[in-house]
Amino acid sequence: MTIEALNKSDLIQRIALKNPHLAEPLVEEAVRIMIDQMIDTLSSDNRIEIRGFGSFALHHRDPRVGRNPKTGKSVEVAAKAVPHFKPGKALRDAVNDSLNN
């Protein structure tokens, strides 16, 4: 099994190829706007739900005391918010079906 990553420029190129009536710069702008909107929404501590695909939300992590693995010394780790993606049932089913065929 070959593992292939899909980066933003690959996504733009694939969308442009499947939609020849759209110029690639227009597709690039649309993808940029969508990602910016997702960042703004999550930054405002709101949730994103795309039916049939999944949802994005922030998981809040409390501050804690960690350890430097090299020195073993205690280190304060600040509180942070981590984006979390939960796939929807349709996405899970589609992925599982493609893996089983």
Model pLDDT, residue 101: 76
| 34 is a domain residue | yes
The model's pLDDT over 12-39, given as tens digits with 9 standing for 90+, comes to: 999 999 999 999 999 999 999 999 999 9
The model's pLDDT over 32-72, given as tens digits with 9 standing for 90+, comes to: 999 999 999 999 999 999 999 999 999 999 999 999 999 99
**Contacts of residue 52, Cβ cutoff 8 Å, sequence gap at least 6:** 88, 90, 91
- Do 85 and 73 fall within a single domain? yes
> Phi-psi category of 45—alpha, beta or left, where left has phi over 0 and alpha has psi -120 to 50?
left
Domain count, the chain: 2
CATH code of the domain containing 91: 4.10.520.10
What global pTM score does this model have? 0.79
Model pLDDT, residue 100: 86
pLDDT at 1 over 60: no
Amino acid at position 78, single letter: A
Question: Over the chain, what is the mean pLDDT?
Answer: 94
Identify the domain containing residue 56 by its residue range: 48-100
